[in-house]
Amino acid sequence: MNFGLQGKVALITGGAGGIGSAAARMFAQQGVAVALFDRDGEGAEHVASGLRGEGASALGGAMDVRDFDAFALAVERTEREFDGIDFVVSVAGGGTRQTLSTLSIDDWHAVVDLNLTGPFNAIKSAAPALRRRGGGAIVTVGSLAGLRMSMNNGVSYTAAKAGVLGLTRHAAYELGRDNIRVNAVLPGPVLTPQMKAKISAETLERVPRELPLGRWVQPEEVAAPILFFCSAMSNACTGTHVIIDSGLHVGATGPRDEYDRTRDRT
């Protein structure tokens, strides 16, 4: 499907990870030049190199999204290399499993800065570049934890991801008259390489049984609505979000086979 994005430019953070690299590939397939940044600069460049090998325009580099000045330099580099920026996708994020009783103040700030200050830095530093293009789109990868609580990470992650939705709404209001749309995608259980590396075999097998669709979300399925929010098909969408979670948000708390077993069937 052609989204009409040929010749556009996207800056993506978390470009070395599962969702970021999937988004980069999907954009590249649409003829979008991509600038990938990640704390793992070598990983970002590896993804960019692979895309260049397939004929795409891509660059990769190291950047800590918590550092506003570093973000501003990444925006400057992208504009210099590709003569502008049309889309900014904030994917970089992560958390810890600490509880209120074990979470230190430094740990709190580290997670909140990564997941909330990072997207703020993206919006603040990139908005002038999008304004120079006559408008554009900013998409932040939040989490289903923005609407409920995280069972995989701790209180700092839940709080930060809830903050992403407030940031999205307010930034959308302020930037709307500049023709800059700001939206968020909220993934649930995504089977990225990072997720596979940290979960047990039991969890890998159990999670799908608890989801209405009966399967993990794939990174490409998060990349698709990101592409939608950057395309003309979402021209009237701003300050909103879409959930991608195989139905986890509907509230089921047990395996589907148990649900079926305890229901009368006629």
Q: Count Cβ atoms below 10 Å from residue 233 Cβ, excluding itself.
A: 12
The C-alpha atoms of residue 63 and residue 70 are separated, in whole angstroms, by 6
| Rounded CA Rg of the chain | 19
* CA nearest to 14, candidates 265, 194, 197: 194
CB 131 within 8 A of CB 112: no
Report, as residue numbers or ranges, the catalytic residues: 157
> The tokens of 97 are what?
């499993």
Residue with tokens 């704390």: 39
Decide if 22 contacts 187 (C-beta within 8 A): no
